[in-house]
Chain A
Amino acid sequence: MAQVHNWQLGRDMRYRFEPGKPERQFAAVFNINRCIACQTCTMACKSTWTHSPGQELMWWNNVETKPYGGYPDHWDVKTLALLDEANPGGQVWDGDPVENVRAPYGRFDGQTVFEAADGLTQEAVGYLPEEREWKAPNRFEDHATKFPAAGVSLPEHDGWFFYLARICNHCTYPACLAACPRNAIYKRPKDGIVLVDQERCRGYRKCVEACPYKKTMYRPTTRTTEKCIGCYPRVEGEDPLTQGLPMEPRCMAACVGKIRMHGLVNVEADGTWTNDPTHPLYYLVHEEQVALPLYPQFGTQPNIYYIPPRWVPRDYLRQMFGPGVDQAIERYTRPSRTLLALLQLFRASQRIIYSFDVEEGPKVGELVVGGEVIEMFNDTAVGFDESGGEIVRVDVEEPIFERPGKLNSI
């Protein structure tokens, strides 16, 4: 058992293995404010990787309607309940968000899934979902049903839902990896992508039980576990479309709402991110701190980050994304000039962006947001590849094309 540093918790914690240092870490930022749950990402993944016999219930990417939907059913509520049961009333944070790459959200004083486990029968606190819980990618929401003849009466929400797109977090300290009795799960040194060695896996499903995000899935036809592979052939540049240059995974590249920004970040030996404000993900997570990890208190140091939805009750969001929520929403709502331009780079190219720059443009207007006047500039965001070559450039002001109604064939 090793002591590792978890910067999302602002402290060291217990983990089964010594930390490995990948050359780079697979990471992404999802802007929930712009997700419309069209499930294009879900189907892009499904049609690429999980369309074979035995994979019918597998959705490596899914979008669930919060607060109620989930895949598998109620995965987050169940894991939160297990942690609360192990440490009643103690799952709390201490401190406020600060600019410190080793503890940007203060310190988590509760127990992680590793610390709440006994270390003998379980490496991480978790549960094994029943088969029925995997049966819909967004169960109880958005799926077909029949109205009884007498009709149905449902409670009406006063608030507005939001949609949570999820893939494997390719965690820095994966619970699936720690739980595997066969050591069949590994984290790739080159990009931190977490994979299951199908030759070694015997389908014990300890990883399914341990992953707090429930993103490892059992395949009955092969009796092994499978999971999101981070579209590693695309990340490696093997897709002929870009002639050897790294590409975003399918779910990211397919996003019509332009909510996703994917990349590979440089990391230090202790797992913190290398200071590089020109990297779009570093800028969003550490400079502006508008993107936050999902349930950081689980302790796996997940690498998919979310810009929280600004209209949702804050207590709910603080439980889901930690204490950085209020600051993140404040900065997102009234974005800096750089942030506003960077938001336009989301999904602007299929190629992985390693750095960005903002070229200043003219002032084009002023808006009143939250009672304050903010200036708008039509700046240009430019994305660069690994060697500094320009990939894409987009302006803050989006061009608008209006299709004449008489040409609409729908």
Chain B
Amino acid sequence: MEYPEKQFESDDPFEFVAVRYPVSSERNHDFQMARCFIEEYALMGWPGSQIRTLFETPLYAGPHAIFQKWGSKVVDELIREIFSAEEVADGTGA
């Protein structure tokens, strides 16, 4: 059975709806989220250089949005900070 194809129209009931969820302005939530991205992968043994590619690649929408908004310098600084401790094996650092 074939169904007729109908395009969405502006008065369809599926309208865009959104509300703002209030969050504290005292901290930068983009930076906090970037740390989460980096630390999640770092704790699985990913090297910093590999994690950086997540931010560079548009296919990873979340990290890439941060990369675009704040630039590579900020991302590199965060990665460097998380990997700043002494490394004892190859391939785990930035």
Point out which of B12, B17, B85 has the most chain A C-beta atoms below 10 A from its C-beta: B85
- Closest residue of chain A to B53 (Cβ to Cβ) is A402
Given A160-B29, A364-B92, does the pair A68, B19 have CB atoms closer than 8 Å?
yes
A261 → chain B closest CB, angstroms: 16
B68 → chain A closest CB, angstroms: 15
Which segment, of A21-29, A108-116, A206-214, A368-376, faces chain B?
A368-376
Q: Which of A350-399 contact B (CB under 8 A)?
A: 362-369, 373, 376, 378, 395-398
Q: Tell me if B45 and A67 are in contact (CB < 8 A).
A: no
B14, B25, B82, B92: the one within 8 Å of A158 (CB): B25
Q: Tell me if B23 and A145 are in contact (CB < 8 A).
A: no
Interface string of A51-77 (1 = CB under 8 A from B): 000000000000000011000000000
Task: Write the residues of chain A forming the contact surface with B, with a CB cutoff of 8 angstroms.
Answer: 33-34, 67-68, 136, 140, 143-149, 152, 154-160, 310-311, 313, 316, 333, 335, 340, 343-344, 362-369, 373, 376, 378, 395-398, 400
Q: List 20 A-B contacts (CB under 8 A).
A: A68-B21, A136-B14, A140-B17, A145-B8, A146-B7, A146-B8, A147-B10, A149-B10, A154-B18, A157-B20, A158-B29, A159-B29, A160-B29, A311-B29, A311-B32, A343-B43, A365-B85, A368-B82, A373-B85, A398-B45
Given A158-B29, A364-B88, A366-B85, does the pair A152, B44 have CB atoms closer than 8 Å?
no
Q: Tell me if A400 and B83 are in contact (CB < 8 A).
A: no
Given A146-B10, A364-B88, A369-B39, does the pair A396, B45 have CB atoms closer than 8 Å?
yes
Top 4 A-B pairs ranked by shortest CB distance?
A397-B45, A366-B85, A365-B92, A146-B8
Q: Tell me if A364 and B89 are in contact (CB < 8 A).
A: yes
Task: Write the residues of chain B forming the contact surface with A, with a CB cutoff of 8 angstroms.
Answer: 7-10, 12, 14-25, 29, 32-33, 36, 39-40, 42-46, 50, 62, 81-89, 92-93
Q: B87 — which chain A residues lie within 8 A by C-beta? A: 365-366
What separation, in Å, do the CA atoms of A283 and B46 have in the docked complex?
25
A56 → chain B closest CB, angstroms: 14
What separation, in Å, do the CA atoms of A400 and B43 have in the docked complex?
14
Besides A148-B10, A362-B89, A368-B83, 16 more A-B contacts (Cβ < 8 Å) are: A33-B36, A68-B17, A140-B18, A157-B21, A158-B25, A311-B33, A316-B21, A364-B45, A364-B88, A364-B89, A367-B83, A368-B85, A378-B45, A395-B45, A396-B45, A398-B45
What separation, in Å, do the CA atoms of A315 and B21 have in the docked complex?
12
- Closest residue of chain A to B80 (Cβ to Cβ) is A368
Q: B15 — which chain A residues lie within 8 A by C-beta? A: 145
Q: Tell me if B40 and A34 are in contact (CB < 8 A).
A: yes
Q: B8 — which chain A residues lie within 8 A by C-beta? A: 144-146
Given A145-B8, A157-B20, A311-B33, does the pair A363, B39 have CB atoms closer than 8 Å?
no
B93 → chain A closest CB, angstroms: 7
A33, A145, A313: the one within 8 Å of B16 (CB): A145
Given A146-B12, A340-B43, A376-B92, does the pair A156, B84 have CB atoms closer than 8 Å?
no
What separation, in Å, do the CA atoms of A396 and B41 have in the docked complex?
11
- Closest residue of chain A to B87 (Cβ to Cβ) is A365
Given A34-B40, A365-B92, does the pair A159, B10 have CB atoms closer than 8 Å?
no
- Closest residue of chain A to B17 (Cβ to Cβ) is A140
- Closest residue of chain B to A410 (Cβ to Cβ) is B59
- Closest residue of chain B to A146 (Cβ to Cβ) is B8
What separation, in Å, do the CA atoms of A400 and B44 have in the docked complex?
10
What separation, in Å, do the CA atoms of A362 and B45 have in the docked complex?
13
Q: A311 — which chain B residues lie within 8 A by C-beta? A: 29, 32-33, 36
Q: B29 — which chain A residues lie within 8 A by C-beta? A: 158-160, 311
Given A145-B15, A364-B89, does the pair A158, B23 have CB atoms closer than 8 Å?
yes
What separation, in Å, do the CA atoms of A136 and B93 have in the docked complex?
44
B14, B17, B19, B82: the one within 8 Å of A369 (CB): B82
- Closest residue of chain B to A148 (Cβ to Cβ) is B10
Given A146-B10, A311-B32, A362-B89, does the pair A154, B16 have CB atoms closer than 8 Å?
yes
Q: A154 — which chain B residues lie within 8 A by C-beta? A: 16, 18
Q: Tell me if A313 and B89 are in contact (CB < 8 A).
A: no
A148 → chain B closest CB, angstroms: 4
What separation, in Å, do the CA atoms of A105 and B22 have in the docked complex?
27
What separation, in Å, do the CA atoms of A160 and B9 have in the docked complex?
30
Q: Tell me if A160 and B33 are in contact (CB < 8 A).
A: yes
Q: A363 — which chain B residues lie within 8 A by C-beta? A: 88-89
Q: B23 — which chain A residues lie within 8 A by C-beta? A: 157-159, 313
